[in-house]
Amino acid sequence: MKIQKFLLVFLIILTTFQTKADEGMWIPMLLEKYNIADMQEKGFKLTAEDIYSVNQASMKDAVMIFGRGCTGELISNQGLLITNHHCGYGQIQAHSSVEHDYLTNGYWAMSKEQELACPGLNVTFLIRMEDVSTQVLNGVTSEMSEEERQKTIKKNSVEIAKTATAETHYEASIKPFYYGNEYYLFVYEVFNDVRYVGSPPSAIGKFGGDTDNWMWPRHTGDFSLFRIYANQDNQPAEYAADNVPYQPKKYFAIAMDGVKKDDFTMVFGYPYKTEEYLTSYAIQQKLEIDNPHRIKARQKKIDILTLAMNADAKVRIQYAAKHAGISNAWKKWIGESKGLTRMHAVEKKEVLEKRFQEWANSTPENKKKYGSLLPQLKTIYTKLTPYRLAYAYYYEAGVSLDIVSYAGYWEKLITEKKIDTNTVENLKKATTGFYKNYNATTDKKLVTSLLQLYYDNVDANYQPTILLTIKNKYKGHVKAYTDQLYLKSKLVSEEKAMNLLNNFNGSTLKKLEKDPLYLLRQSIVALYDFKIKDSLLVLNNQIDLLQRTYMEGLLAMDKDKLFYPDANQTLRVAYGKVNGYEPIDGVSYKHYTTLEGIIEKDNPEIYDYDVPDQLKTLYNKKDYGQYAENGEVHVCFIASNHTTGGNSGSPVLNANGDLIGVNFDRCWEGTMSDIMYDKDQCRNIALDIRYALFIIDKFAGANHLIKEMSLVRKNPVEIKVE
Ligand code: ARG
Ligand code: GLU
């Protein structure tokens, strides 16, 4: 036993010092300085300037934030863009009804006139970035309180952003890097007229559904197409029928050769959040509190939704996006916890922390700055634990419940007691929108089950008062309470809510104050406001401050090591190579999948694996056109690029900077890479771009879209489709 433990520590020390091949999400502007030599050594044939440049068109001009959270990239000189099916999902759903079910059947605009406007959707391009640390930190001193510091930073940032965008239509944002040790300015251009061009049926675009989500081997055709429109001067504009397709500075050519094992690949996109520099205490908290409780709550939701969706086609459409969202994080957390445990993440951090402490104690100067950091962090995390638990339930079993968040729309009206037509009209809109995707029976089951979980798992001190009412008045019978809630509330049916809004007057307000749904929401919000919010804020601020100093210390301790900043939804480059992996002893995964695998999974009885007949026909006829490789259609591939949420839809590029795939997921065994990367287990999953083209051309007959693109083969001969 002792020897085993010794070996483990030894192994951990070894891996801590190893160079971490393929790990990292790098800053485009700094590639020249830090990465390009390594990238070229690994096979990349272009320059840093080809990726990011402010002087000439570069790859960054073809990459965008799609909507709020995804990435997309341009693939034609007419503003055509590709992203994931799951990124376009909300839009596809918004255009769908039981009669025109684009989720189920797919949609393809056969001409530009058929491209559908998407109000509310926009795409964002990076114009330039700049290190503004000095300007942002101007006037900040070490004697300042954290509050003063933040105030100064904010004031400086507003100024910098204003100057950066003066006399332009650009937008600017300034983001902290390395926990606020550095700051960067980002200047963006936003396009608001983005139209839905096409997407395959869910049986292709979401093939494997939530069953295969986060898993390899994968066969999902996870893509959708949109087009950016601009005004006559090629400038961003609000939607107008006579807007024209945007002519970009740069778009990606499409590589028709596919990928081989060990090929260089890079992913260029907007990773949302990673936490690579957390302490052992934080990871332990994740493993013991956040993940298990949130997993448990979501398991309940998923069980209820799955039953309801299988039983009713309308419910399936209504809850499709909600279900996908709930189950996505649920499954990731399960994988993450397993991965962190398998990697001995806590022990690895402890080894690092021990070394840090020794280093901190090694000189009086270090000691003053860094000596008490870790013990302080440890204490704060201990204090944080009950609040993290309370917050998990407040969120998962409280505010995030559909009707509870809907009740939030009414809050302003009820608390401010001001009835103006604007508020009422907005509420009508919100009500129609909300009830479009609502099923009363399902909702009631969800609320009952989640409130029960809340009741059973959280200390009474951190429960909303309504649970106390349930205990006293309803003798702990949650169902008895929800029966009353759904019977009596005027807000839990569209008809009743609309009725209220159509005949609104002073006495309606009085009644609403006592509406059971409103009271439920109030009790949940009050719990957060009075018992959770302030403590969380104070403790999190303390952690931020200490993490900033810890980060500074880490950078100082390992001066020769190249650190990459955590993802923060700014443009990053990850690079690695195409490669399979060994998830468990005795199993070895190949780096790609093919149409054969789709046919193998085919099962009309199972919703997630019901292969469309037309795809089977193409398969039987081997009607693959130019999209096959040695007689097979490749569907997905994996590589060692370090990616995370937000990288969905990101271009996966080859050594020539041509598009080989569209990133859409990670392998389950590697989902802990947001916290700790393992080069043997972490793989990003990409759709092979040739599969998307095959579907567009052969399945959908939308050959006009292929003609817009530039398809290239190795020596690069341009192929134009007639
Ligand atoms: N896991 C991927 C991501 O994190 C895909 C999610 C959408 N797909 C799904 N089956 N829910 O976004
Ligand atoms: N599917 C994820 C997204 O929407 C990407 C997968 C990941 O987290 O790596 O961004």
* 591 and 692 within one domain: yes
The reported pLDDT for the residue numbered 719 is 53
Domain closes at, from 513, 531, 553: 553
- Report whether residue 271 contacts ligand 1, using a CB cutoff of 6 Å: no
Torsion of CA 274, 279, 280, 284, to 10 degrees: -60
* 287 and 256 within one domain: no
Annotated catalytic residue within 22, 61, 101, 222: 222
The reported pLDDT for the residue numbered 7 is 53
How many Å lie between the centroid of ligand 2 and the Cα of residue 684? 9
Please confirm whether the linkage preceding 248 is cis (ω < 30° from 0). no
Active site residue 449: no
If one counts the domains in the chain, the total is 3
The protein residue whose alpha carbon is closest to atom 8 in ligand 2 is 645
> How does pLDDT run across 228-256, given as a tens digit for each residue?
999 999 999 999 999 999 999 999 999 99
Q: Token pair for residue 136? A: 């942002």
- Report whether residue 218 contacts ligand 2, using a CB cutoff of 6 Å: no
* 128 and 206 within one domain: no
How many Å lie between the centroid of ligand 2 and the Cα of residue 670? 12
Ligand nearest to the CA of 70: 2
Ligand nearest to the CA of 323: 1
Domain closes at, from 499, 524, 553: 553
Residue to mutate (ligand 2; options 643, 668, 682, 687; most atoms within 8 A of CB): 643
* 523 and 386 within one domain: yes
Q: Please report whether residue 21 resides in a domain.
A: no
Nearest ligand 2 atom, CA 663: 5
The answer to whether the predicted template modeling score (pTM) of the entire model surpasses 0.75 is yes
Domain closes at, from 553, 583, 602: 553
Here the CATH number for the domain that contains residue 667 is 2.40.10.120
How many Å lie between the centroid of ligand 2 and the Cα of residue 16? 26
242 CB burial (10 A radius; 0-12, 13-18, 19+) = exposed
DSSP H or E segment with residue 651:
strand 651-653
Low-confidence ranges of the chain (pLDDT < 70): 1-21, 715-722
Annotated catalytic residue within 86, 95, 219, 323: 86
* 419 and 397 within one domain: yes
- DSSP code string of 570-595: S-EEEEEEB--B-SSTT--B-SEEEH
* 55 and 148 within one domain: no
Q: Please report whether residue 12 resides in a domain.
A: no
Q: Please report whether residue 561 resides in a domain.
A: no
Q: Please report whether residue 719 resides in a domain.
A: no
The reported pLDDT for the residue numbered 8 is 53
Active site residue 648: yes
Which stretches within 581-687 are classed as H helix? Answer: 595-601, 613-621
Q: Please report whether residue 290 resides in a domain.
A: yes
* 139 and 115 within one domain: no
* 487 and 388 within one domain: yes
- Report whether residue 398 contacts ligand 1, using a CB cutoff of 6 Å: no
The reported pLDDT for the residue numbered 507 is 84
The reported pLDDT for the residue numbered 423 is 87
* 319 and 216 within one domain: no
The reported pLDDT for the residue numbered 720 is 53
Active site residue 493: no
Q: Please report whether residue 18 resides in a domain.
A: no
Q: Token pair for residue 639? A: 């590589």
Which residues, 6+ apart, have CB-to-CB distance to 594 below 8 Å?
632, 633, 634, 635
Ligand nearest to the CA of 638: 2
* 509 and 446 within one domain: yes
Q: Please report whether residue 462 resides in a domain.
A: yes
Q: How far apart, in Å, are the Cα atoms of 459 and each of 286, 346, 404, 463, 464?
A: 19, 27, 21, 7, 10
Question: Do 428 and 498 meet the contact criterion of CB atoms below 8 Å apart?
Answer: yes
DSSP 115: P
Ligand nearest to the CA of 327: 1
CB 587: neighbour CB atoms within 10 A? Answer: 8
Reduce the DSSP state of residue 660 to 3 states and report it. strand
Annotated catalytic residue within 53, 58, 76, 648: 648
- Report whether residue 644 contacts ligand 2, using a CB cutoff of 6 Å: yes
Q: Token pair for residue 481? A: 């309470």
* 166 and 78 within one domain: no
* 128 and 118 within one domain: no
Long-range contacts of 107-113 (CB under 8 A, 24+ apart): 107/196, 107/198, 107/199, 108/197, 108/198, 108/696, 108/700, 108/701, 108/702, 109/195, 109/196, 109/197, 109/198, 109/702, 110/702, 110/704, 111/704, 112/227, 112/245
The reported pLDDT for the residue numbered 415 is 85
Q: Please report whether residue 528 resides in a domain.
A: yes
Nearest ligand 2 atom, CA 646: 10
Instruction: Tell me the residue range of the domain where 164 lies.
Output: 124-191
Question: Do 437 and 319 meet the contact criterion of CB atoms below 8 Å apart?
Answer: yes
How many Å lie between the centroid of ligand 1 and the Cα of residue 38? 31
- Report whether residue 324 contacts ligand 1, using a CB cutoff of 6 Å: yes
